[in-house]
Structure 1
Amino acid sequence: MAKKIIFGAALVSAISVQAQTFTLKGTLAKNTLAVNSYIYLRYEQQGKTILDSCRLQQQAYHFQGKVDYPKEATLFLKVSDKDARYYRQTRLLKPYERNFYLDAANMTAKADGELRETNITGGAAEADRQAIEAELTAIYQRGEKAYGAKRDAAYKKKDSVAIAEVTRASYQNDAEREAAKLRFMQEHPHTGIMLKLLNEYTRTKIDPVVIGPLYEGMLPALKASPEGTAYGQRLAKARETAPGMPAPPVALKDRQGNLVTLASLKGKVVLLDFWGSWCYPCRMSHPHLREAYARYKDAGFEILGVSNERGDSTKWKDNWTKALDADQMTWLNVLNTAGSTDRDKGVLGDFDVKAFPTKILIDREGKIVVKLVGNSESSREALDAGLERLLGKGH
């Protein structure tokens, strides 16, 4: 074996971590596209990428090393630039790669065909990964069986009513899969794939009440890893913008160049709408906002749209103002000075906005009531319920 540390950053963990040994013994029946007789293992630990290699001898290989915490790894073969480019461009599954979870265990890998078909056993984290993936696949397949044919027919006929129906069914299937992830984390608090599941489950937002106990209870070495530390920082930010917390300040300019501040709206119920002219779900949410604004504006309701543009910055204002007019947005709107991809900067970072649209409802005291991500039916219903609770049912 020839082991290399490709790159890394100096990171100090909050606790001392004791590295533990792993072994991975495997067999590979076919290496059709390989340009040499080696198999490679790549993984990360403590901010460093580690690359190991082993010569295939009579279809067998053996890796040994140390890990501080479970981490996703990749077994792969070296292929020609032409083949690598083909699979990259077509996005087909690569027969010369196999991703899995590596942890301190004696693991066995067996492939009766190509490397992608490898069955890996012996590691607790990989067993957990396989278990949750099987459950998620089963849920997805149930959904496809229930509405897959209806979806294809609806889009073929361009039937908007039928498309809306299958879209609602799709959202329900997505919600069922997300619920399965949460249930798995709660039932397996020490799983080695906890960070993977947390990042997937909280891709767009974090509910600290639900996620905090999962983070605090995870494996100490995983929590102390660079990835665990980074997630802890994001959780801390989410706690700062959780329901009941004061909303961070907003001070940006409207289309006339006037400075608009969130502080100036204190005493009103405010909906912060983080959107962009390029964002289709954002634009599709505006008819519902027009209805809500017309219903509640005389009761002390204001919307403050924050547009987040992308691409050529010289075109941001033009794209934004065209969308304002096209979508008939008569409420307050400002343009973010940072791009939509700069989600750790400015107001996007302050409000922990990770996806668009994100809507944040703020009460008359300037405290956050609820954070809503996306334009699903459930998000619209939650906004309506929040407005009714804060402003009354009679409007």
Structure 2
Amino acid sequence: MKIGMLIGALALPAVTFAQQAYTLKGKVGQVEPGAKAYLDRRVNGETFLDSAVIKNGSFEFKGTLKSPYLVMLTVDHKGTGLGSHGMDADRRLLYLDNTTFTIAGTGNISDAVITGSPVNKEHDRYKLFISAYDSAMAGINKDFGGATDAQRNDTAFTNGLNTRFHAAIDEKKALQRRFISENPNSFFSIVALKELAVMNNMNLKELTPLYNGLTAALKKSPAGQEFYQSMETEKALGIGAPAPDFTQNDINDKPVKLSDFKGKYVLLDFWASWCGPCRAENPNVVAAYKKFHDKNFVVLSVSLDQPGKKAAWLGAIEKDGLQDFVHVSDLKYWDNAVARQYGVRGVPTNYLIAPDGKIIAKNLRGEQLDKQLTGLIVNK
């Protein structure tokens, strides 16, 4: 049983905005020669790592960005390398913004105090606002972590944890909706909207009025414009809309078009060899293919595997028994052209497309795919 949910940053369409400068000044306690500080940023799934030597307990980072951005600050006190500390690494999540600010303390960076940063002060306020969710999840994880093997195999025990987990998620969503409504000019209202979009599968009926309630200034901000574009992409990919055509090369570098399969039911399936949930879902897709492939059904699989990782992609196809699917990829990770065209924010993601080329269902998981195809193909 897995308790917990990771709400990641959305992979939204790129928008061009003016770059603005930031300066982060740091101060930590005693360090050894060779000590360094690291800034870890993830943009559309790609990692960017900056480093700075710590001299006399001080370090500094400078750069540009177009809007506040969440980063992981790590301090290697002993100078032994970023990966040498494992789970015991001295880390701190914080936001960069177009300002000069300081993080300072006499010990670990995780206990240091941030000053001069309005966005980090606002982040603390937002976290406090939704802290009931964090407390609930901490209790659930504590109970699960301390459970015996017998308890973990007990249906009543695990069902109880699941009930608490879903209640915590519902509470978080309610708190985020309230925060957005009460704070229409806060950057973290956009952050909350992005998390809600992940949790409610980009339900525009809920998201649109919340977005419309934001101030004009926040809507015009880079984050506001990015979220607006994500909603526009979702509108163009709604149920009943024509599935946008595309061309991408298959495993033999031969071009494949979505429109090549017009006249068939197509499951357009976005996945990757590195994606655990995708690999776990693959048996369900294989089962559906075996059941319906002779009834005008095909699977067109788009991989978000990384540059230079074709062997991993092909290996996963073989290991998961996906050889009968049609596979395409440009091996550009989150920058995959088709994934960007379809506004893919996470994998697995799928679209079921009718013979006339229109989208008829989205994100079918487990038995949902079998039931949908049975209703369309067998019971029509």
The TM-score range, normalised by the shorter chain, is 0.5 to 0.7
Counterpart mapping for 1:56-205 below 5 A = 82=78, 89-90=85-86, 92=88, 99=94, 116=111, 126-132=124-130, 134-150=131-147, 153=149, 162=153, 175-188=166-179, 189-191=181-183, 192=186, 193-203=188-198
Q: Is residue 228 of structure 2 the alignment partner of residue 237 of structure 1?
A: no
Residues 177, 352 of structure 1: alpha-carbon distance in 2 compared, 3 angstrom cutoff: farther
> What is the DSSP-based 3-state SS (H/G/I as helix, E as strand, rest coil) of the residue aligned with 2:326?
strand
Contact 1:147 1:169 in 2 (8 A): no
Residues 10, 330 of structure 1: alpha-carbon distance in 2 compared, 3 angstrom cutoff: closer
Q: Is residue 323 of structure 2 the alignment partner of residue 354 of structure 1?
A: no
Q: What amino acid sits opposite 1:140 in the alignment? A: M
- Cross-structure match for 1:326: 319
Structure 1 CA distance for aligned equivalents of residues 81 and 235 of structure 2: 43
Q: Cα offset for 1:172?
A: 6.6
Q: Cα offset for 1:149?
A: 3.4
Q: What amino acid sits opposite 1:136 in the alignment? A: Y
Query: Which segments of 5 or more consecutive residues in structure 2 lack a partner in the other structure?
Result: 1-15, 20-26, 32-54, 98-104
User: Which structure has the larger Rg?
Assistant: 1
> What is the DSSP-based 3-state SS (H/G/I as helix, E as strand, rest coil) of the residue aligned with 1:341?
helix
- Cross-structure match for 1:389: 375
Residues 41, 263 of structure 1: alpha-carbon distance in 2 compared, 3 angstrom cutoff: closer
Q: Cα offset for 1:251?
A: 2.3
Deviations 1:290-312 (A, max 9, x none): 22122222333221122332242
Contact 1:207 1:242 in 2 (8 A): no
Q: What amino acid sits opposite 2:352 in the alignment? A: L
Contact 1:181 1:197 in 2 (8 A): no
Q: Cα offset for 1:187?
A: 2.5
Q: What amino acid sits opposite 2:197 in the alignment? A: T
- Cross-structure match for 1:247: 243
- Cross-structure match for 2:308: 312
Q: Is residue 286 of structure 2 the alignment partner of residue 293 of structure 1?
A: no
- Cross-structure match for 1:224: 220
Residues 167, 354 of structure 1: alpha-carbon distance in 2 compared, 3 angstrom cutoff: farther
Q: Cα offset for 1:267?
A: 2.6
- Cross-structure match for 2:209: 213
Q: Cα offset for 1:347?
A: 0.4
> What is the DSSP-based 3-state SS (H/G/I as helix, E as strand, rest coil) of the residue aligned with 2:332?
coil
Q: Cα offset for 1:336?
A: 0.8
Contact 1:238 1:352 in 2 (8 A): yes
Q: What amino acid sits opposite 2:194 in the alignment? A: N
Structure 1 CA distance for aligned equivalents of residues 63 and 240 of structure 2: 41
Contact 1:178 1:201 in 2 (8 A): no
- Cross-structure match for 2:101: none
The 10-residue stretch of structure 1 (186-195 or 30-39) with the greater mean CA deviation from structure 2: 30-39
Residues 167, 41 of structure 1: alpha-carbon distance in 2 compared, 3 angstrom cutoff: farther
Structure 2 CA distance for aligned equivalents of residues 304 and 338 of structure 1: 16
Q: What amino acid sits opposite 2:222 in the alignment? A: P
Query: Which segments of 5 or more consecutive residues in structure 1 lack a partner in the other structure?
Result: 1-8, 13-29, 49-70, 103-110, 155-160, 374-378
Residues 383, 168 of structure 1: alpha-carbon distance in 2 compared, 3 angstrom cutoff: farther
Q: Is residue 356 of structure 2 the alignment partner of residue 365 of structure 1?
A: yes
Contact 2:307 2:331 in 1 (8 A): no
Deviations 1:276-301 (A, max 9, x none): 23333322222211221222223332
Residues 290, 91 of structure 1: alpha-carbon distance in 2 compared, 3 angstrom cutoff: closer
Structure 2 CA distance for aligned equivalents of residues 218 and 310 of structure 1: 37
- Cross-structure match for 2:334: 341
Structure 2 CA distance for aligned equivalents of residues 98 and 73 of structure 1: 7
> What is the DSSP-based 3-state SS (H/G/I as helix, E as strand, rest coil) of the residue aligned with 1:209?
helix
- Cross-structure match for 2:66: 47
TM-score (norm 2): 0.64
Q: Cα offset for 1:252?
A: 2.8
Aligned residues: 317
Q: Cα offset for 1:129?
A: 2.6
- Cross-structure match for 1:280: 276
> What is the DSSP-based 3-state SS (H/G/I as helix, E as strand, rest coil) of the residue aligned with 1:202?
helix
Contact 2:266 2:299 in 1 (8 A): yes
Contact 1:304 1:331 in 2 (8 A): no
Structure 1 CA distance for aligned equivalents of residues 260 and 334 of structure 2: 28
Structure 1 CA distance for aligned equivalents of residues 308 and 297 of structure 2: 34
Structure 1 CA distance for aligned equivalents of residues 372 and 207 of structure 2: 23
Structure 2 CA distance for aligned equivalents of residues 183 and 265 of structure 1: 42
What is the root-mean-square deviation in Å for CA atoms of aligned residues?
Answer: 4.7
Residues 172, 312 of structure 1: alpha-carbon distance in 2 compared, 3 angstrom cutoff: farther
TM-score (norm 1): 0.62
